[in-house]
Amino acid sequence: MPEPTTATGGLLAAIAGTGRDAVRGGYSRPVFSTAERDLVSWYEAELTARGLEPEIDRNGIVWAWWNPAGLPLEGAVVTGSHLDSVPGGGAFDGPLGLASALRALDLLRGRGVEPARPLGLAVFPEEEGSRFGVACLGSRLLTGAVTAERALNLTDPDGNTFADVARRAGLDPAGFGRDEEALARIGTFVELHVEQGRGLVDLDAPVAVASSILGHGRWRFSVHGQGNHAGTTLLDDRRDPLLAASRVVVAVREVAAANPGARATVGRLQPVPGGTNVIASRVDLWLDVRHPDDAVTAAVVAEISRRAVELAAGEGCTVQVREESLSPTVDFDPALARRLGATLGGVPALATGAGHDAGVLAAHVPTAMLFTRNPTGVSHSPEEFCTDDDAEAGSVALADVLADLLR
Ligand SMILES: [Zn+2]
């Protein structure tokens, strides 16, 4: 890896070796894994080195405050992101926002800014939902968008409950749930994130302000058939759920294509028991659907569910559909977005199809996002990228925005 040429790039270079995935490429940093906890320790050390005192709240969110005047924390300006990743993800989704927050703090101090409100830096756990299935779990717990009871009973692919894994990470499961006190401290929230599309590449600009997040949700389809022997079971005698699931995957694409603007994906499919010489007894597949109009999202899922039942029946199988999460389309606070745009001299405004903790918080407090250019346009993949120069431009933009909001 070439030497980083900027402070933001230098911060990220320090964690470039953490959580690498030799099989998938890129990084696998699931929440509460050794890799993700190592990143949290790195971040806490960076905060401590800046004289801040990191603390983990009862929902597992890391907080630190720059509050030189010792003001009450209620109504503070908060910036933050996440350190967990999807399996085989990129280096920037999450960590860029946190490295930029540190860099922006350094820049604000270097400029001699005296904040009239405290600045909070926050790290949210399980943003990707890649371990327990519910995206933005930390911010959803904070806001009460998911109940503690539901969260604690979620299981990871190895069957561990969120409660057990959180306990092993030193958290008390009894403390999880909506946190009025923590919410009251967030007066304004700003999240910087690597762009997860080609918007800024096409506009030839390093930084954008977010306008909206597409509504999105996840559904688990469990297709039940008859597990049996691959050699002794005649084709006519089979009730093969993997065959049914494959037809469902094709139907997902067809239904999405018939609804302009819809994005529907099956990126994960799990045959049970999963043996080469075994006809599966069950297949779980996960459907991800996104559309700016929540009614269209609902209609797409309903149509896919209807076709799944039909296609499964054609193979002698049955289907259960369970919603795992659903987030309506979020339009970020227009006045705040305009204020950010004006501060940054009229940078572009971009909508995104990716979910973020900022989208969850937007239902409760004025919230904004900044995007930093990703030259590949690819995300949730090792090819996700951000040049050192653009990372630094993002940090400077974040510092400019925070300086304005902290006045
Ligand atoms: Zn992210």
Q: In the structure, what pLDDT confidence band is assigned to residue 250 with cuts at 50, 70 and 90?
A: very high
Known binding-site positions for allantoate: 218, 277, 290
Q: What does DSSP say about strands 62-66 and 119-123: parallel, antiparallel, or unpaired? A: antiparallel
Percent of the chain with pLDDT over 70: 99
Taking the centre of ligand 1 as the mean of its atom positions, its distance from the CA of residue 246, in whole angstroms, is 29
Q: How far is the CA of 96 from the centre of ligand 1 (A)?
A: 9
Specify the pLDDT at position 181.
97
Whose CA is closest to 398, among 218, 191, 249?
191
CA of 143 to the centre of ligand 1 (A): 18
Per-residue pLDDT, averaged over 26-34, amounts to: 97
CA of 374 to the centre of ligand 1 (A): 13
Q: Is residue 4's pLDDT more than 70?
A: no
Architecture of domain 8-214+329-406: 3-Layer(aba) Sandwich (3.40)
Residue 372 alpha carbon to ligand 1 centre in Å? 12
Q: Which of 355, 349, 331 is nearest to 209 (CA)?
A: 349
Rounded distance from Cα 277 to ligand 1 centre (Å): 39
CA of 355 to the centre of ligand 1 (A): 8
Q: Give me the pLDDT at residue 349, please.
A: 95
Q: Which two tokens stand for residue 27?
A: 């990084």
Cα of 240 vs centre of ligand 1, distance in Å, is: 37
**265 vs 4: which has the higher pLDDT:** 265
Q: Is residue 72 within 8 Å of residue 115, measured between CB atoms?
A: no
Token code pair at residue 346: 């009229």
Report CA(386)–ligand 1 centroid distance (Å). 14
The answer on pLDDT for 242 being more than 60 is yes
- How far, in Å, from the CA of 227 to the mean position of ligand 1? 38
Instruction: Find all residues with CB under 8 Å of 186, minimum gap 6, and list them.
Output: 76, 78, 120, 361, 364, 365
Annotated binding residues, as ranges?
A: 82, 93, 128, 193, 218, 277, 290, 380
**Contact yes or no for 268/198 (Cβ under 8 A):** no
CA of 162 to the centre of ligand 1 (A): 20
Give first-to-last CA distance, the chain, whole Å.
Answer: 39
- How far apart, in whole angstroms, are the C-alpha atoms of residue 354 and residue 379? 10
Residue 6: pLDDT band (50, 70, 90) is confident
Its pTM stands at: 0.88
Domain-by-domain residue ranges, the chain?
8-214+329-406, 219-327
Q: Which residues are part of a known binding site for Zn(2+)?
A: 82, 93, 128, 193, 380
Radius of gyration, CA atoms only, the chain:
22
> What average pLDDT does the segment 370-393 reach?
97
pLDDT for the residue numbered 378: 96
Residue 3: predicted pLDDT: 60
Measured CA distances, 23 to 20, 93, 106, 113 (Å)? 9, 19, 37, 46
Q: Determine the Cα–Cα distance for residues 93 and 128; give it in Å rounded to an integer.
A: 10
- pLDDT tens-digit profile of 196-225? 999 999 999 999 999 999 999 999 999 999
Nearest alpha carbon to residue 289 among 325, 318, 342: 325
CA–centroid distance, residue 94 to ligand 1 (Å): 4
CA of 179 relative to ligand 1 center, distance in Å: 22
> Is the model's pLDDT at 2 over the cut of 60?
no
Residue holding tokens 């904070």?
Answer: 142
CATH number of 219-327: 3.30.70.360
Q: What whole-number distance in Å separates Cα of residue 289 and Cα of residue 281?
A: 26
Q: Which residues surround ligand 1, an ion (CB under 5 A)?
A: 93-94
User: Do you find a cis peptide bond into 173, omega within 30 degrees of 0?
Assistant: no
Distance from the alpha carbon of residue 273 to the mean position of ligand 1, in angstroms: 32
